[in-house]
Structure 1
Amino acid sequence: MSRGKRLALLLSTFAIFALMLTGCQEPAKSVFDPKGTAGEMNLDLIMTAIYIMTFVCAVVMIIFVYVLIRYRQKPGDNSIPKQVEGSMKLEMLWIIIPIILLAILAVPTLSTTFSLAETPNEKDALKVKVTAHQYWWEFEYPELGIKTAQELHIPVGKKVHFELTSDDVVHSFWVPELGGKQDLTPGQTNTMWLDAKEPGVYAGRCAELCGASHALMNFEVVAQEQEKFDQWVAKRQKPSSEPQTAEQEAGKKVFSQNCMSCHAIDGTKLKTKGDKAPNLTGISERNKIAGLLENNDKNMEKWLKHPDQIKPGTYMPSFDFLNKKDMNNLKAYLESLE
């Protein structure tokens, strides 16, 4: 096989694999289908950069192909082409054009960056404090008196002002369809805002390498119509957390003996409210357990028994030492929390 054919085969194979990889993107994490104002601003910026880069690549390739054809060695022509050097016009041209292109990209980049960092002027903007931990998310609504974890609820059509910080290492808050990203740094508070134009559940991720379970540090943003959001707020402010059956009462006792030093549950008469791990108020109504597993009885037991196998590096200990009765009672209590 000739060298040219081998090169063509290699390029064709690469093109096929590149085309196949375009289908590997999870739709829930696509920045090209924004559902909020900030996401639309980010997409406009991305497309501006793509247009500029496409233009530059096209010009370079056209010049490259032209030079290959125009100055290729012709049969019987052994002369040396005219040597051109020190052209002031060319040097000024390839200095000025990149400066212009960078300026075109810099203006919207700076404008978008500062706009997304501003505090919303709207008086009814929702305020949320976000604290990142290895490997979970804490969401506090200071004006509503609510603290929850892993699942962020917001009303549709209203700007949400975020204050972001970290409890341990550097993380990054990212909801691809709504906007982002923003770093969360220990000892420092960063700000940003987002909104959702449509109801739905939007995937959130940590976008900064933060440890063994960085790729598993997921959360969800639940965007609801105002009426449903108000109902969620009312339930979180007055949660149903007291046991209703003997099994749940026994499960609460197991929880108080093993879990309450780290976890908090609002609306109970437990002596201690832990603040080292996710708040479990209303956990039965969350879509996911630990931001990863579908919320059902089987996965609840799986998480309680072997959390380190699901999220390597997690600080939560295994509770596989519980006997079957205590495990069932604990699950019954947790699954009753609304």
Structure 2
Amino acid sequence: MRLRRGGMVACLLCTVVIAAIEPAAAQSVNKRLIDQLNFQLIYVALPLTLFVEVILIYAVVRFRNNDDPLPTAEDPALEITWTIATAIILLFVGFAAYTVLTSPYITPNQPGDQVNQMAANGTNNSSAPDAVIVEGLAYQWGWQFEYQNSNRTTQDELVIPANSEVYVRMTSADVIHSLFVPELGVKQDVFPSRTTVVHTRVYEPGTYRGYCTEFCGAGHARMRTTVRVLPQDEYQQWLRGNATAEK
């Protein structure tokens, strides 16, 4: 009876804790997917953690003065129950992670062939007429971005439009680098002689900081970039070289 009451208390505490946690609004599709997965796992992990802790505390207090401990009695029903419960939890975690990892925003190889064909043809795919393709080059120790159908090239600054499908085709001029933009949930390794793709859709205009997270030499700590997200009209002005969009 006490153990059941402890479990009920643990579940109640877990409900209160989860209700008190309110995630901040995600700035991109990538960040939203990652945040959703994290909170799905929290919903599973917190009740289990609290339940196990309650059982542990109960066992320590209840049997602290037991000078003649007995072997644990066999209980096939209980063993089958926790085995099935564990399997269900693992299946839920695996399915939740699989649906996120297979998203084209999270797994960069999925849109690779499509983006390569779009870049080669110089046209956008009909299913994403507003798609923006940017060619990215990482080098010791900086970033360069070239914009399709435009003569614009930027150093250490990636400029993209808000609410558009954005593909950044990345390669390295020397060693392995990695582009990480925490606020957008973007992280992609960049390799020499190989193209990897960053696929994102950012909701809110603004400025976000990006970093290289793969140690690449003495200047690694200085290898940073800025991701500037502009409204659609301002982005088009910027592509045409309109000075008002630079402010």
TM over 0.5: yes
**1:167: how far off?**
2.2
Contact 1:42 1:112 (8 Å CA) reproduced: yes
User: What residue ranges of structure 1 are gaps of 5+ in the alignment?
Assistant: 1-30, 240-284, 287-338
Distance, in Å, in 2 between the alignment partners of 1:165 and 1:49 is: 34
Corresponding residue of 2:97: 109
Q: Structure 2 vs 1, CA of residues 96 and 123 (structure 1 numbering), >3 Å: closer, same or farther?
A: same
Structure 1 position 84 matched with structure 2 position 72: yes
**1:32: how far off?**
5.0
Structure 1 position 141 matched with structure 2 position 150: no
Distance, in Å, in 1 between the alignment partners of 2:182 and 2:162 is: 17
**1:135: how far off?**
1.7
Q: Structure 2 vs 1, CA of residues 126 and 102 (structure 1 numbering), >3 Å: closer, same or farther?
A: same
List per-residue Cα deviations over 1:221-266 (Å, max 9, x = no partner).
Answer: 1111122111211118xx9xxxxxxxxxxxxxxxxxxxxxxxxxxx
List per-residue Cα deviations over 1:21-49 (Å, max 9, x = no partner).
Answer: xxxxxxxxxx9552122211111112222
AA in 1 matched with 2:180: W
Tell me the matched-pair count: 205
Contact 2:160 2:227 (8 Å CA) reproduced: yes
Corresponding residue of 2:47: 55
Structure 1 position 36 matched with structure 2 position 36: no
Q: Structure 2 vs 1, CA of residues 215 and 47 (structure 1 numbering), >3 Å: closer, same or farther?
A: farther
Identity, in percent, stands at 32
**1:85: how far off?**
6.1
1:185-196 pair list within 5 angstroms: 185-196=191-202
Which residue of 175, 183, 186 corresponds with 2:181?
A: 175
AA in 1 matched with 2:65: Q
Corresponding residue of 1:129: 135
Corresponding residue of 1:151: 157
List per-residue Cα deviations over 1:195-230 (Å, max 9, x = no partner).
Answer: 221211111122223333333321111111122111
Q: Secondary structure at the match of 1:235?
A: coil
Distance, in Å, in 1 between the alignment partners of 2:200 and 2:213 is: 17
Q: Structure 2 vs 1, CA of residues 113 and 152 (structure 1 numbering), >3 Å: closer, same or farther?
A: same
AA in 1 matched with 2:96: P
Contact 2:27 2:204 (8 Å CA) reproduced: yes
Distance, in Å, in 1 between the alignment partners of 2:91 and 2:149 is: 42
Q: Structure 2 vs 1, CA of residues 70 and 131 (structure 1 numbering), >3 Å: closer, same or farther?
A: same
Contact 1:32 1:43 (8 Å CA) reproduced: no
Greater Rg, structure 1 or structure 2? 1
**1:93: how far off?**
4.4
Structure 1 position 204 matched with structure 2 position 196: no
* Structural RMSD (CA): 2.6
Corresponding residue of 1:11: none
List per-residue Cα deviations over 1:268-326 (Å, max 9, x = no partner).
Answer: xxxxxxxxxxxxxxxxx69xxxxxxxxxxxxxxxxxxxxxxxxxxxxxxxxxxxxxxxx
Q: Structure 2 vs 1, CA of residues 98 and 132 (structure 1 numbering), >3 Å: closer, same or farther?
A: farther
Q: Secondary structure at the match of 2:199?
A: strand
**1:162: how far off?**
2.0
More strand by share: 2
Distance, in Å, in 1 between the alignment partners of 2:60 and 2:29 is: 46
Q: Structure 2 vs 1, CA of residues 199 and 57 (structure 1 numbering), >3 Å: closer, same or farther?
A: same
Distance, in Å, in 2 between the alignment partners of 1:95 and 1:167 is: 51
1:1-338 pair list within 5 angstroms: 32-73=24-65, 78=67, 80-84=68-72, 88-115=76-103, 116=105, 117=107, 118-119=110-111, 121-235=127-241
Distance, in Å, in 1 between the alignment partners of 2:80 and 2:220 is: 47
Contact 1:204 1:218 (8 Å CA) reproduced: yes
Distance, in Å, in 2 between the alignment partners of 1:85 and 1:188 is: 59
Q: Structure 2 vs 1, CA of residues 158 and 183 (structure 1 numbering), >3 Å: closer, same or farther?
A: same
TM-score by length of 2: 0.72
**1:84: how far off?**
1.7
User: What residue ranges of structure 2 are gaps of 5+ in the alignment?
Assistant: 1-22, 112-124
Q: Structure 2 vs 1, CA of residues 187 and 89 (structure 1 numbering), >3 Å: closer, same or farther?
A: farther
